[in-house]
């Protein structure tokens, strides 16, 4: 008799296969420190499962292309239907367990941002050598706290400076790098200095008014990068901005 063909579904194209396997990785970079860790878990656990599932699905499709008779096709279809259900159940259980573990780690270890408090500010110099050139000398004391119970913080490249009325009145001062353990509190001191900084001529009048009133509103800014430490894993650098 004539050979019968059993065609059940279309074979996935290479482009759709690539998207199906790798589309979870097509996201924008995020400052969230656990995303790189979750990405590694996906690459080493979830991705092989997806590849295995597709391989079995592809072999099933190929095995159904050429069969000898409709009766043979029916037997093959029944057998593959049973195997598919069993395989899908196993894969679903594995993937659900892995995702549950990832979500559990996410909620337990999801780090909170460090907290900064300006403890003290001492202004030793704030005057003008010319109407538009400012000289300043300011000492600051910052308190930084790590609120996390399971996550340590590496502070890298922290730079502090002061601004007044929207204008920077000191140069950036580098704060030495340090590590902060879980729920630790540290005091940071920095000398903020500016010599001959160009500013708007009107700033001299505003500084004089505030000095006469006995109070002055300064803005202290800290910019830099931090890294999170979870057990032995250390994240990449993430930007931190403190006002």
pLDDT tens-digit series, residues 121-175: 999 999 888 878 999 999 999 999 999 988 999 999 899 999 998 899 999 999 9
The 3-class SS string of the chain reads CCCEECCCCCCCCHHHHHHHHHHHHCCCCCCCCCHHHHHHHHHHHHHHHHHHHHHHHHHHHHHCCEECCHHHHHHHHHHHHHHHHHHHHHHHHHHHHHHHHHHHHHHHHCCCCCEEEEEEEEEEEEEEEECCEEEEEEEEEEEEECCCCCEEEEEEEEEEEEEECCEECCCCEEECCEEECCCCEEEEEEEEEEEEEECCCHHHHHHHHHHHHCCCCCEEEEEEEEEEEECCEECCCEEEEEC
**pLDDT, position 70:** 56
Query: Model-level pTM?
Result: 0.60
Residue that wins the pLDDT comparison between 12 and 211: 211
pLDDT tens-digit series, residues 181-239: 999 999 999 999 999 999 988 888 888 888 888 888 899 999 999 999 988 888 889 89
The band of 47, judged by pLDDT with boundaries at 50, 70 and 90, is low
* Domain 115-242 listed as CATH 2.40.50: no
Portions of the chain given CATH number 2.60.40:
115-242
């Amino acid at each position: 008799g004539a050979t019968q063909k059993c065609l059940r579904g279309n074979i996935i194209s290479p482009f759709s296969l690539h998207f199906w396997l790798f589309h979870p990785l097509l996201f924008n970079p995020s400052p969230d420190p656990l995303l790189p860790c979750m990405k590694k878990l996906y690459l080493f656990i979830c991705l092989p499962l997806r590849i295995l599932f597709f391989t079995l699905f592809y072999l099933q499709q190929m095995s159904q292309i050429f069969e000898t008779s409709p009766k043979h096709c029916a037997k093959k279809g029944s057998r593959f239907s049973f195997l598919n259900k069993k395989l899908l159940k196993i894969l679903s259980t594995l993937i659900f367990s892995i995702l549950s573990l990832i979500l559990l780690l996410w909620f337990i270890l999801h780090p909170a941002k460090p907290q900064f408090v300006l403890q003290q500010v001492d202004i030793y110099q704030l005057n003008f050598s010319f109407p538009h050139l400012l000289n300043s000398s300011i000492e600051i004391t910052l308190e930084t706290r790590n609120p996390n119970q399971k996550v340590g913080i590496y502070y890298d490249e922290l730079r502090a400076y002061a601004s007044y009325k929207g204008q920077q009145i000191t140069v950036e001062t580098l704060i030495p790098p340090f590590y902060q353990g879980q729920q630790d509190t540290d005091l940071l001191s920095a000398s903020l200095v500016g010599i001959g900084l160009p500013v708007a001529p009107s700033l001299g009048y505003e500084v004089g008014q505030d000095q006469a009133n006995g109070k002055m509103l300064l803005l202290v800014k800290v910019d830099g990068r931090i890294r999170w430490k979870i057990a032995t894993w250390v994240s990449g650098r993430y930007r931190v901005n403190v006002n």
